[in-house]
Amino acid sequence: MLSGLLAVMRQPNELRKFRSAFSAVEKMGPDDVQSALDLAKKRTGNEWGGLVPMIVASRGVAAETSREQ
């Protein structure tokens, strides 16, 4: 899982990076979330910083969906 996120963050194309990151985050299980957040926090300033909000937002959507069912 984390190796996939690292590959995503190295993408030079921002649109492709966003789409790939979104796809990877959607496939994450609950156990992967903390590891992914730790990885995203370690990124330097020149790497894509939109990963943390994406992870947090996707987990909120997953929680809402499970409550509705």
Q: For 7-61, what is each residue's pLDDT tens digit?
A: 888 888 888 888 888 888 888 888 888 888 888 787 766 666 678 888 888 877 5
In this structure, are residues 39 and 2 in contact, taking their beta carbons and an 8 Å threshold? yes
The torsion region of residue 22 among left (phi > 0), alpha (psi -120 to 50) and beta comes to: alpha
Q: Given this model, what pLDDT does residue 65 score?
A: 46
How deeply is 38 buried, as exposed, middle or buried, from its count of CB atoms within 10 A (0-12, 13-18, 19+)?
A: exposed
Q: Given this model, what pLDDT does residue 64 score?
A: 47
Task: Kindly tell me the number of DSSP H helices and DSSP E strands found in the chain.
Answer: 4, 0
Compute how many other C-beta atoms are within 10 angstroms of the C-beta atom of residue 18: 16
